Amino acid sequence: MTNIRDLAKMAGVSVTTVSRVLNKHPYVSEEKRKAVLAAIESSNYQPNINAVHLSMGKTFLVGVVVPFIDHSYFALLIKGIAMEALENNYKLVLFQTNYDKERELEALQMLKQKQIDALLICSRASGWPTIADYISYGPIVLCEDGREKNVSSTFVDHYRCFLFALNYLYQKGHQQIGYCIGRKSGTSSKFRGMAYKDFVTRYHLQHNPSYIFNHCNYFEDGEQVIEQILKMEEPPTALLVTSDEVAAGIVTCAHKQNISIPEDLAIIGFNNQPIAQMMGITTIDIPLIEMGRKLFLQGINPSEQVTHQEMEMQLIERQSV
Amino acid sequence: MTNIRDLAKMAGVSVTTVSRVLNKHPYVSEEKRKAVLAAIESSNYQPNINAVHLSMGKTFLVGVVVPFIDHSYFALLIKGIAMEALENNYKLVLFQTNYDKERELEALQMLKQKQIDALLICSRASGWPTIADYISYGPIVLCEDGREKNVSSTFVDHYRCFLFALNYLYQKGHQQIGYCIGRKSGTSSKFRGMAYKDFVTRYHLQHNPSYIFNHCNYFEDGEQVIEQILKMEEPPTALLVTSDEVAAGIVTCAHKQNISIPEDLAIIGFNNQPIAQMMGITTIDIPLIEMGRKLFLQGINPSEQVTHQEMEMQLIERQSV
DNA sequence: TTGTAAGCGTTATCAG
DNA sequence: CTGATAACGCTTACAA
């Protein structure tokens, strides 16, 4: 492999000059520039990026922590992040954690070791103190309400979101409302749970724990939801489903079991994905791609300023309510 | 940031000794080891990984090229790759190319620049010659039949696979068979097309171009397929669908339109994903996660040997045929 | 406008 | 067992 010194020799100039033309710095005579360019051409030279990184203390690599890559919510977030990364000439290092704290630590470790310039945490299993230990090593950005924390964040207010949807269903006449989430722990579930509790209290409704369906991440998870509902003496008349894919699975299974949507069971999905449009599912639009972009920008933004971006949600009314 | 030289000073030893302790090399007296360990402890030392990379000429980063991250086929492949990467202490750099040749080039460029130790190409838009230019810079592994090419590969024989499925449908009495693919170009489509042609020829069937449905990647794409079928005077009686998700979309839409599965339209999906099981779709199982693992291992395998692994497919009979 | 030389933080060789 | 010291390949003061 030819290196910058070889190039210098070939072109009859110094390494500095080579470096300058490589990095398009000014103050290089046209003559020498051409010589260097010729040397580069003829030698098929390629800079060793690791040397650049060592020298600059920067890698143009940004870490992205997600629990699952094959979940539409995260896939869309990543898509947005990837788009912005592309535009800014960064590459992404993906950490699929499966909510394993060990793997989250690996990501934080890479930040500490400077192998990545920033770390975007889309969802996490680790407690905040664990992560807080690493904020001095590089920018960490959270995809959750981080206003109480000293890192940047982009998020939707899940409390407000849920409350809005619950009220909407209530206005449509529903009093027995359940909801589906991916996991019980996790900050968004916490906020949603609070919204649900407040809603139930406000309208003096029953808080029925069996109306909360956990582990709903994929289309096929809709099956269990319907199975459980069929077993209930007093099933919910409406369901908030935190992923359109799961909502689609529920609708599909409901049809199989002759449960009419929305007559027997109203459904509100989340994220406004194509599958929801196709199946006529009312949903709450969350601009995930846009969120991904913002997350990325917060990560690489050189300003030391910690910022917080709240994203707006929007109800898309279709035929499932 | 404290570095290895500071450590040496603190522990009263040489950098070499520190390095030895750090890398768990033998031949260090217990006494000095303890001193170094103490220094590491007290200084909150963290090695600069970029320096390690420069010195070793290795990054423990492996690049993965996929067109879309949010497509189940690739998501599963990545899952397998990620699992194996974890076990071998590698991290992944993800390239979501959207079948943009530019972005594929970026990935190849990173291989050339030694920022990644190997590149796994799960699917590509670039022609082979473009990629062949880079094989001297590091291991490239293909997820397609690479037996004619001088790089390692893990693949399924899409020709055999398709022919098998077509014959199966023929035996079940189908003579008007269509198929759905993600894109017309691409090596797998080429093989599938050949299988289809050979099949049609063998049984003296009509080769009806409108029986080939392109752009079928996601669940919602099933809608167009059904729409088109409804318009046909002589619609296919069976469909090979190269993704279970699309198959599920087709089945869902078919129900909506009162097309009975399998009476009016038989469906064979691909990949044996949970959604297919839930919806009772007959499918061809392809061990994608296992394939991912093998791809990864071929990438980091130090042996210079080029290897080719053909994976076996398996028909899973359910209720859609 | 150009070049020398000092880093950047490791690993590895080789002589003790 | 231990330690100088030379790589690794690039950037960047600083000097000219």
Mark the ranges of chain A whose per-residue pLDDT is less than 70.
Answer: 302-304
Q: pLDDT tens digits for B111-148?
A: 988 889 999 999 999 999 999 999 988 899 999 999 99
CA distances from A289 to A272, B163, B251 (A): 12, 40, 29
- From the CA of B17, how many Å to the C1' of D5? 14
B278 to A220: CB separation less than 8 angstroms, yes or no: yes
| Burial per residue of B160-178, b for 16 or more beta-carbon CB atoms within 10 angstroms, e otherwise | ebbbebbebbbeeebebbb
- Residues of chain A in contact with residue B59, where contact means CB-CB under 8 angstroms, are 50
- Side-chain-side CA neighbours of A196 within 13 Å: the count stands at 20
- What SS3 class is residue A39? helix
Q: Say if residues B311 and B155 touch (Cβ distance below 8 Å).
A: yes
Protein residue minimizing CA–C1' distance to C13: B16
B94 to A94: CB separation less than 8 angstroms, yes or no: yes
CA distances from A243 to A74, A163, A309, B256, B299 (A): 11, 16, 22, 22, 36
Strand D lies under 7 A from the Cβ of residue A43: no
Name the nucleotide nearest B53; use CA and C1': C10
Chosen for mutation from A52, A115, A117 (greatest number of chain B CBs closer than 10 Å) is A115
Strand D lies under 7 A from the Cβ of residue A4: yes
Chosen for mutation from B278, B318, B320 (greatest number of chain A CBs closer than 10 Å) is B278
Model confidence at B302, pLDDT cuts 50, 70, 90, reads low
Determine phi and psi for B10, rounding to 5 degrees. -60, -40
Report the alpha-carbon distance of residue A281 to residue A251 in Å, rounded. Answer: 9
| Rounded average pLDDT over B225-252 | 96
Q: Write out the DSSP string of B133-146.
A: TTGGGS-EEESS--
Chosen for mutation from B48, B70, B217 (greatest number of chain A CBs closer than 10 Å) is B70
Peptide bond before residue B47 is cis, with ω within 30 degrees of 0:
no
Q: Where are the alpha helices (DSSP H) in chain B?
A: 4-11, 15-22, 30-43, 49-56, 72-87, 101-112, 128-132, 158-171, 187-202, 222-231, 244-256, 274-278, 288-300
- What SS3 class is residue B290? helix
- From the CA of A234, how many Å to the C1' of C4? 84
Task: Look at the pTM and tell me if it is higher than 0.85.
Answer: yes
Hey, what amino acid is at B198?
Answer: D
Per DSSP bridges, beta strands A266-270 and A282-285 are: parallel
Q: Write out the DSSP string of B292-306.
A: HHHHHHHHH--S---
Question: In whole angstroms, what separates CA B209 from the centre of its chain?
Answer: 29
Model confidence at B23, pLDDT cuts 50, 70, 90, reads confident
Tokens matching residue A246: 């799961």
Q: pLDDT tens digits for B47-79?
A: 888 898 888 888 889 999 999 888 889 989 998
% of chain B at pLDDT higher than 90:
69
Name the residue of chain A whose CA is nearest to B60's CA. Answer: A115
Report the alpha-carbon distance of residue B67 to residue B243 in Å, rounded. Answer: 15
Per DSSP bridges, beta strands A177-180 and A238-241 are: parallel
| Rounded average pLDDT over B32-37 | 90
Strand D lies under 7 A from the Cβ of residue A257: no
- Side-chain-side CA neighbours of B87 within 13 Å: the count stands at 10
Measuring CA to CA, which residue among A174, A245, A242 is closest to residue A212? A242
B278 to A248: CB separation less than 8 angstroms, yes or no: no
Model confidence at B100, pLDDT cuts 50, 70, 90, reads very high
A142-149: long-range contacts (C-beta < 8 A, 24 or more apart)? A143/A77, A143/A291, A143/A295, A144/A187, A144/A188, A145/A187, A145/A191, A145/A308, A145/A310, A146/A308, A147/A308
For chain B, what's the residue count? 321
- From the CA of B17, how many Å to the C1' of D15? 37
Q: pLDDT tens digits for A151-199?
A: 999 999 999 999 999 999 999 999 999 999 999 998 899 999 999 999 9
Report the alpha-carbon distance of residue B162 to residue B195 in Å, rounded. Answer: 6
- Residues of chain B in contact with residue A278, where contact means CB-CB under 8 angstroms, are 219-220, 223, 249, 253
Strand C lies under 7 A from the Cβ of residue B29: no
Peptide bond before residue B129 is cis, with ω within 30 degrees of 0:
no
Strand D lies under 7 A from the Cβ of residue B28: yes
Report the alpha-carbon distance of residue A4 to residue A7 in Å, rounded. Answer: 5
Per-residue pLDDT, A302:
64
